[in-house]
Structure 1
């Protein structure tokens, strides 16, 4: 009985608020244990509880549930009105902190970490985009017509050798006309009244020139092959044509007149270098038509001639053009050869090949006949019934160099035109073969020069003797 009172005292000391203040409207608390109930372990031995009284173990379980509900009620009271309300659920046994963590996870899902594979894919996409942008920028800045891949050394060489478009414009700036040659030209023209010559000469060392009807338009005949040759080597430098590229002989390109390709079977193949060499060396008309076709046709070449500044040069018909519809002028051909000599319009390597091919010209009956021994000439002739012509660059043994272009309109196949061109070449060579005039040094010597000429010679092995020196000079030397 004492133990029973002790248990009642423990239960009496608990500070429990009124029942109405603990229970929210939606929460029903279980009935608190009666005062007659005893906690676990305090039952009187041998005495059984009434049926309406539950064991002490049940009371402790109910007390734990009561404490849980009290904690829930406190949380509900501390939260603002309208927020989450606690719902009684006897099966819910998770702590309050765990419930809050779950609710917070529902509201804010955590970001999943990005794998390294995703980063790698992103970097690849960014790299491709940057490469595409850089390639677009480079393609707009660099020429698109170069097809061959070159090393750095070759690229530097091409930059040094290939001229810019601004530096290759024609005509050239010439200095003054050569009066001596003009006088001799007047004499030659007067001796051949039935001929109409056009002559243009350029001194490559000084820029002096001779212009005798140089801008007049003439039938080009085979001299039209000179600007075609220049265009060919331009495309070699640009990588559009290779010297070893095979060219096929087609039936529609075969032409009569000079040359031996006209006798070959259609479908025969020749390298581009072989064809262009035949065009100049033996003036092959079929080879010329093959080169014209490979360069894009007459219209494309005429446009290029115009960009060079050639005013009278144009291709209107394929070779042999016996009617003389293809035209040029002595001034156009002379200016073109002068620009090529300076390394413009093409690289220096291509210039050397061009001049080497022109030195192989087999017809040597005009300009070469007026040259002296030791001189070399790179030239190209032209011959149709109404016109005879020869254009060449002469290299003299003295080191002087000049360009001479002679074109003569004549009666049909008049041989006197050939003799006139030989005479023009001869008088031109004689003029350049003369030594250049030097400034005169025949002025009166000065007083000091006269004095020095009177100084006697002394023997280095003997001491000098001032007695042998004139008195006036001795005083000057001592002073």
Structure 2
């Protein structure tokens, strides 16, 4: 005999899944049956009591009515379902809105900056971007003497500053406060920073002639061999007094032309046109003989860091290094324009080095006044100025101006010699704290030693003259710190 098993009661989870809570009238819809909730016997009695307390003609809403799934289906087909109203959200405060807006604008700004940066770097940066604000683009063509047409310049720092200023301005507007940074203000700050070095420069102008020293230099120039002619210009940077013995005369520059070339190089570094670690190619069109060792590196090295190139140009007077820099800076015409801007009317490059014919020209006055501006911080940033003076202190040829100085004196200088013309120009720091600038050029029969001895005597005379002059107490007299340069090859005869 088979006995039927008792039905297993539904679990609470099943009951909750099959039941729905709706609002409606006291009379259930057609087809809806009321089910028991739980196993309590008083559940249906409480419902009946609520219905019995209802007044005649009054429709009382039962807030909780348990119906079966069949009733839920009928309600879903067209009946109103009493859902719990959603609580309205609290509006954002002004500072919450400002923060949210700032975040959104910041994200937009970062996105624009990323897109702009990607687009710029996709193209040629050296063609479309210039680090300076006013300088002309550097020549990168095969022939550096050819000028390039003007090209529109894009300045990434200005783009980013404009985006940042716009985001800040919009944020301040939402906060109800005045703008604290605008693109115009940012540009003004950039201009202030860019012109800061000139504000601290120690500018020196020739004031009056030192007649005593001028007479001494003139006497020396005529007392030596008649075939030797000297031209000199000295200036005291403490008071601007100068001595001029035919110093304005235009003469072959020899390797003293490398002084303004080096200044032009570091000017380009300050403007962001050249990087010190940039590799400059050693190509056949720049390789020349005479002074220097780079001419012997053909087949051994294909390029040099820019800082090493300018160091070799000054320290060992490397002609190949000079031609590499002239080409990289934009050619002879570009450099001649810079010389004119520096008020060097007698200085001009007509041919690449070694220029044994003496077509490149300068004057002692041009060289001396250029060095005055250099030491005063008028031409370069203080960092580049100190680096260049440190290199000039390492000049290997010390047979001219240095021979007239005492052992404790320091000199940053550059010599030149093409046989018939030799010269030297430099900045001298004396042990007593005084500083002066001197430049001397001399013409002579080819390689006549009397020319070298005359320059030594002129240097000694000037040094002893300034030794008797006490520098002003307020004048800062600190010689430029020596800086290490890249290792150079054995020294060749300098020109």
Three-state SS of the structure 2 residue aligned to 1:364 is coil
For residues 174 and 270 of structure 1, what CA distance do their matches in structure 2 show? 40
Q: 1:420 aligns with which of 450, 454, 458?
A: 454
The corresponding residue for 2:387 is 353
The corresponding residue for 2:333 is 299
- Structure number with bigger Rg: 1
Q: CA deviation at 1:147?
A: 6.6
1:387 and 2:395 matched:
no
The corresponding residue for 1:337 is 371
The corresponding residue for 2:304 is 270
1:309 and 2:343 matched:
yes
Q: 2:235 aligns with which of 202, 207, 229?
A: 202
Q: 2:271 aligns with which of 238, 242, 265?
A: 238
The corresponding residue for 2:212 is 180
For residues 145 and 160 of structure 1, what CA distance do their matches in structure 2 show? 23
For residues 214 and 381 of structure 1, what CA distance do their matches in structure 2 show? 16
For residues 265 and 403 of structure 2, what CA distance do their matches in structure 1 show? 29
Three-state SS of the structure 1 residue aligned to 2:289 is coil
Q: Is the 8 A contact 2:434 2:471 kept in 1?
A: no
1:170-206 Cα offsets, whole Å, 9 max, x none, are: xx63111112212222321221222111100000001
The corresponding residue for 1:12 is none
For residues 265 and 344 of structure 2, what CA distance do their matches in structure 1 show? 17
Q: 1:161 aligns with which of 177, 190, 197?
A: 197
Q: Is the 8 A contact 1:203 1:209 kept in 2?
A: yes
Q: Is the 8 A contact 1:158 1:347 kept in 2?
A: no
Q: Is the 8 A contact 1:147 1:240 kept in 2?
A: no
Q: Is the 8 A contact 2:256 2:414 kept in 1?
A: yes
Gaps of 5+ in 2: 1-100, 117-129, 135-152, 162-185, 473-495
Query: After superposition, where does 1:271-286 map in structure 2 within 5 Å?
Result: 271-286=305-320
Q: 1:248 aligns with which of 264, 281, 288?
A: 281
Using structure 1 for the length normalisation, give the TM-score: 0.58
Q: Is the 8 A contact 2:349 2:361 kept in 1?
A: yes
Q: Is the 8 A contact 1:378 1:393 kept in 2?
A: yes
Q: CA deviation at 1:154?
A: 9.6
Three-state SS of the structure 2 residue aligned to 1:390 is strand
Q: Is the 8 A contact 2:258 2:322 kept in 1?
A: yes
Q: CA deviation at 1:332?
A: 0.5
For residues 193 and 302 of structure 2, what CA distance do their matches in structure 1 show? 36
For residues 175 and 395 of structure 1, what CA distance do their matches in structure 2 show? 21
Q: Is the 8 A contact 1:253 1:290 kept in 2?
A: yes
Aligned length: 303
Root-mean-square deviation over aligned CA pairs: 3.3
Three-state SS of the structure 2 residue aligned to 1:393 is strand
Q: CA deviation at 1:309?
A: 1.1
Q: CA deviation at 1:168?
A: 11
For residues 437 and 158 of structure 1, what CA distance do their matches in structure 2 show? 32
For residues 339 and 437 of structure 1, what CA distance do their matches in structure 2 show? 19
Q: Is the 8 A contact 1:163 1:343 kept in 2?
A: no
1:189 and 2:233 matched:
no
Three-state SS of the structure 1 residue aligned to 2:277 is coil
1:284-343 Cα offsets, whole Å, 9 max, x none, are: 000000000000010111111111111011111110000000000011101100011110
1:405 and 2:439 matched:
yes
1:422-446 Cα offsets, whole Å, 9 max, x none, are: 00010111011114499xxxxxxxx
C-alpha change, 1:155 and 1:432, in structure 2 (3 Å) is same
The corresponding residue for 1:87 is none
Using structure 2 for the length normalisation, give the TM-score: 0.56
